[in-house]
C-alpha cells in the first residue's frame, strides 16, 4: 500500500508542472468545448426527435377522435362495427367511448389504463405519467391523452409512449457512446497535436537551459546557437531572432577574447625589454651611470610602442562595434584634405575629379585611407611617390593608393589582413608599427561592404584599390 501511495504521489509530481503547459491548456479547452457540444447534442437531438414522434402520435390520436365523432355510437353493436373498421395496435392505443345514454365502451386493455391513477406532467395536461414509485424507473409509463365530445358522446384516446421513449433512449445512448469515443480520440489527437506544436518551444527552452548550465560550468564552451524548427513559423522566427542576438553577443565576446589574447601576446616583448633595462639600471647604474640615459631612452621608446599597440588593438576591437553613419561623402574634398595634411617622407600625388561622391561613413573611410597611406609610406623608399586616385565606373566609386615599395606577392595578399602579419618577417623589426593597420582596414571595409583589390604597380610597388557601391 505504501508503494502504491508513493507511486501515485510521484505521478502527481510529474504531471503537476504540465497543468500550466500549452498542451494542457489546449487539451482542457478542447475538452470543455467538446463537453458543451456533447451536452447540446445530447439534449437537443433526443428532444427534437421525441417532439416529432409525439407530434405524430398526437396526429394519430386526432384521427381516431375525428372518426369517432363522425360515428353515432349508441349501442355495443355500433362500437363493434367501429372497432372492426378501425384497426390499431391494442398494446399502444387505448380508446374509451361514453355514449349520451351513459353506456361506456372500451377497446382492449383500455379499461385497465382508464382506471389507473395518472399524474399530469407539469408542462401539459395531455401528457400523463403512471408509476409505482419514483425510484422504480422500470415502472414508469408515459401516455399521451386527448378527448373530444360530439352529440353528447364523450371519447378519450390514450397512446402509450413507450416506443417513443425507447427510441429516445436508444438515440441518446448511441449519441453519448459516439461522442464519448470522439471525446477520447479527440483528447488524444489534440494532446498529440499540442505536443507537436509545443515540442519546438520545448527544444528551444532545453537548448537555452543547457547553454546556461555550460556558462556556469568551468571548462565548457557553450553552444551559442538554438535549434530553428521549420514549424510552427512563429517558433522558427523566435528562434531565428534569438540566434541573431546570440550571434551578436558571441561575436562581441570573441572580439573581447581576441583583444585580450593579442594584447597579452604582443605586450610580452616590450614589457620584458623594459623590465630587463630596469634590472640593468638597478644592477649596474651606480658603477656605470652612462647606461642610464640609453636605458631610459629605450624604455621611453618601448612605452610609446606599447601605447600605439594598445590603441591599435582597441581600434580593431571596436571596429565592428561603433555604429555606422552613412552619408553622401565628397570623395574629392576628403582626398584633398588627407593629401594636404599628412606628413610622410614620400611625395604625395593626387589624380581625381572634384565632383565625385559616394555613400559611406566619412570618419571610417578617412581612417581606412590614412591606414593605407601609412602602410604605403612604411614600405616605400623615402624619395618615392605615393599616388592617390579616384574615379567612377559602372555606378561604383574606385579609390586607389599606389606606392613604389617592395610589392606584395600573390601568395601573401590574403595573409596581409591578418593580425600582426608582416610581409618580410626578417625585416619586421626595422619597420615601425604594430602590424594591425591592414587588419583594421579590412574590418572597417567589410562593415561598409567596401571591396579591396590588390594589384602590382608597374614597374614597382603595390596598388590598394577600394570599390564603394553606389
pLDDT at 409: 86
Whether residue 6 lies inside any domain: the answer is no
Residues 417 and 354 in one domain: yes
Mean pLDDT of all residues in 398-411: 90
Domain boundary among 305, 320, 335: 320
Whether residue 179 lies inside any domain: the answer is no
Contact 434, 312 (CB under 8 A): yes
Residues 332 and 459 in one domain: yes
Contact 399, 331 (CB under 8 A): yes
Comparing 14-23, 253-262, 341-350, 444-453, which segment has the lowest mean pLDDT? 14-23
469: β partners: 396
For residue range 272-330, list pLDDT tens digits in order. Answer: 878 888 888 888 888 888 888 888 887 887 787 777 667 766 766 666 566 788 999 99
CATH number for position 387: 3.30.565.10
Question: Is 90 exceeded by the pLDDT of residue 447?
Answer: no
Q: Which residues contact 295 (CB under 8 A, 6 or more apart)?
A: 277, 278, 280, 281
Residue, of 362 and 218, whose pLDDT is higher: 362
C-alpha to C-alpha distance for 55 and 51, rounded to whole angstroms = 6
The sheet that has 451-456: what strands, in order across it? 347-351, 385-393, 396-402, 462-469, 451-456
**Parallel/antiparallel/unpaired status of strands 347-351 and 385-393:** parallel
**Ramachandran sector of residue 435 (left: φ over 0; alpha: ψ -120 to 50; beta: rest):** left
Residues 135 and 251 in one domain: no
For residue range 324-340, list pLDDT tens digits in order. Answer: 889 999 999 999 998 88
Question: Does a cis peptide bond (omega within 30 degrees of 0) precede residue 232?
Answer: yes
Question: Is 80 exceeded by the pLDDT of residue 7?
Answer: no
C-alpha to C-alpha distance for 364 and 370, rounded to whole angstroms = 10
Question: Is 70 exceeded by the pLDDT of residue 379?
Answer: yes
C-alpha to C-alpha distance for 356 and 361, rounded to whole angstroms = 15
CATH number for position 227: 1.10.287.130
Residues 241 and 358 in one domain: no
Comparing 82-86, 176-180, 374-378, 446-450, which segment has the lowest mean pLDDT? 176-180
Residues 279 and 248 in one domain: yes
C-alpha to C-alpha distance for 223 and 423, rounded to whole angstroms = 36
Structural domain total, the chain: 3
Residue, of 70 and 207, whose pLDDT is higher: 70
Whether residue 79 lies inside any domain: the answer is yes
pLDDT at 3: 60
Residues 259 and 234 in one domain: yes
Residues 350 and 385 in one domain: yes
Percent of all residues in the chain with a pLDDT value above 90, rounded to a whole number: 13
Residue 338 belongs to domain spanning: 322-469
Whether residue 36 lies inside any domain: the answer is yes
Residues 291 and 368 in one domain: no
For residue range 169-182, list pLDDT tens digits in order. Answer: 888 888 888 888 88
Comparing 67-76, 92-101, 128-137, 435-444, which segment has the lowest mean pLDDT? 128-137
pLDDT at 468: 94
Residues 363 and 315 in one domain: no
Residue among 41, 38, 29 nearest 181 (CA): 38
Residues 22 and 148 in one domain: yes
pLDDT at 427: 39
Contact 322, 252 (CB under 8 A): no
Domain boundary among 132, 167, 202: 167
Whether residue 58 lies inside any domain: the answer is yes
Q: Would you place residue 454 in the very low, low, confident or very high pLDDT band (cuts 50, 70, 90)?
A: very high
Whether residue 453 lies inside any domain: the answer is yes
Question: Is 60 exceeded by the pLDDT of residue 13?
Answer: no
Long-range CB contact pairs, 90-94, < 8 A, 24+:
91/160, 92/159, 92/160, 92/162, 92/163, 93/60, 93/61, 93/64, 93/157, 93/158, 93/159, 93/160, 94/157, 94/158, 94/159, 94/160
Highest mean pLDDT range out of 20-29, 37-46, 88-97, 395-404?
395-404
Contact 157, 65 (CB under 8 A): yes
Residues 316 and 326 in one domain: no
Residue among 397, 402, 410 nearest 450 (CA): 397
CATH number for position 43: 3.30.450
For residue 91, with 0-12 CB atoms within 10 Å meaning exposed, 13-18 middle and 19 or more buried, which class applies?
exposed
For residue range 79-134, list pLDDT tens digits in order. Answer: 888 888 888 888 888 988 888 888 889 888 888 888 887 777 766 777 777 766 55
pLDDT at 412: 85
Contact 97, 64 (CB under 8 A): no
Mean pLDDT of the chain: 79
Whether residue 310 lies inside any domain: the answer is yes
Whether residue 298 lies inside any domain: the answer is yes
C-alpha to C-alpha distance for 143 and 451, rounded to whole angstroms = 97
Residues 449 and 352 in one domain: yes
CA atoms within 13 A on the CB side of 229: 17
Torsion of CA 435, 376, 343, 345, to 10 degrees: 110
Domain boundary among 320, 341, 356: 320
pLDDT at 175: 81
Question: Is 70 exceeded by the pLDDT of residue 256?
Answer: no
Q: Would you place residue 423 in the very low, low, confident or very high pLDDT band (cuts 50, 70, 90)?
A: low
Percent of all residues in the chain with a pLDDT value above 70, rounded to a whole number: 79
pLDDT at 22: 63
Question: Is 90 exceeded by the pLDDT of residue 455?
Answer: yes
Torsion of CA 293, 297, 303, 304, to 10 degrees: 150
* pTM of the shown model: 0.43
Amino acid at each position: 500500500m505504501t508503494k502504491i501511495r508513493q507511486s501515485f504521489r510521484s505521478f502527481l509530481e510529474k504531471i503537476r508542472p504540465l497543468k500550466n503547459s500549452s498542451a494542457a491548456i489546449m487539451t482542457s479547452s478542447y475538452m470543455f468545448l467538446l463537453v458543451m457540444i456533447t451536452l447540446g447534442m445530447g439534449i437537443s437531438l433526443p428532444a427534437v426527435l421525441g417532439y416529432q414522434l409525439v407530434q405524430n402520435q398526437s396526429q394519430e390520436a386526432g384521427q381516431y377522435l375525428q372518426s369517432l365523432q363522425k360515428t353515432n355510437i349508441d349501442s355495443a353493436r355500433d362500437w363493434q362495427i367501429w372497432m372492426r373498421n378501425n384497426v390499431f395496435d391494442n398494446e399502444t392505443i387505448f380508446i374509451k367511448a361514453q355514449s349520451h345514454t351513459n353506456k361506456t365502451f372500451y377497446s382492449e386493455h383500455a379499461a385497465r389504463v382508464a382506471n389507473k391513477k395518472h399524474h399530469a406532467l407539469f408542462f401539459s395536461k395531455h401528457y400523463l405519467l403512471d408509476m409505482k414509485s419514483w425510484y422504480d424507473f422500470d415502472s414508469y409509463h408515459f401516455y399521451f391523452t386527448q378527448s373530444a365530445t360530439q352529440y353528447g358522446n364523450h371519447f378519450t384516446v390514450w397512446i402509450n409512449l413507450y416506443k417513443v421513449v425507447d427510441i429516445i433512449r436508444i438515440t441518446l445512448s448511441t449519441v453519448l457512446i459516439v461522442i464519448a469515443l470522439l471525446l477520447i480520440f479527440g483528447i488524444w489527437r489534440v494532446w498529440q497535436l499540442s505536443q507537436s506544436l509545443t515540442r519546438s518551444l520545448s527544444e528551444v527552452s532545453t537548448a537555452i537551459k543547457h547553454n546556461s548550465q555550460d556558462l556556469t560550468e568551468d571548462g565548457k564552451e557553450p553552444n551559442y546557437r538554438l535549434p530553428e524548427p521549420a514549424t510552427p513559423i512563429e517558433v522558427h522566427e523566435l528562434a531565428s531572432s534569438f540566434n541573431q542576438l546570440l550571434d551578436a553577443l558571441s561575436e562581441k565576446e570573441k572580439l573581447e577574447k581576441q583583444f585580450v589574447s593579442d594584447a597579452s601576446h604582443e605586450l610580452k616583448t616590450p614589457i620584458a625589454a623594459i623590465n630587463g633595462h630596469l634590472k640593468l639600471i638597478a644592477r649596474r647604474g651606480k658603477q656605470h651611470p652612462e647606461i642610464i640615459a640609453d636605458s631610459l631612452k629605450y624604455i621611453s621608446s618601448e612605452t610609446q610602442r606599447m601605447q600605439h599597440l594598445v590603441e591599435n588593438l582597441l581600434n580593431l576591437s571596436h571596429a565592428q562595434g561603433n555604429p555606422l553613419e552613412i552619408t553622401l561623402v565628397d570623395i574629392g574634398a576628403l582626398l584633398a584634405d588627407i593629401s594636404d595634411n599628412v606628413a610622410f617622407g614620400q611625395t604625395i600625388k593626387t589624380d581625381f575629379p572634384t565632383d565625385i561622391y559616394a555613400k559611406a561613413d566619412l570618419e571610417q573611410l578617412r581612417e581606412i585611407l590614412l591606414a593605407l597611406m601609412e602602410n604605403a609610406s612604411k614600405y616605400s623608399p623615402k624619395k618615392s611617390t605615393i599616388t592617390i586616385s579616384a574615379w567612377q565606373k559602372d555606378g561604383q566609386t574606385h579609390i586607389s593608393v599606389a606606392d613604389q615599395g617592395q610589392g606584395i606577392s600573390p601568395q601573401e595578399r590574403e595573409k596581409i589582413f591578418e593580425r600582426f602579419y608582416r610581409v618580410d618577417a626578417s625585416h619586421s623589426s626595422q619597420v615601425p608599427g604594430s602590424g594591425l593597420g591592414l587588419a583594421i582596414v579590412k574590418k572597417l571595409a567589410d562593415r561598409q561592404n567596401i571591396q579591396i583589390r590588390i594589384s602590382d604597380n608597374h614597374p614597382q610597388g603595390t596598388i590598394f584599390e577600394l570599390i564603394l557601391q553606389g
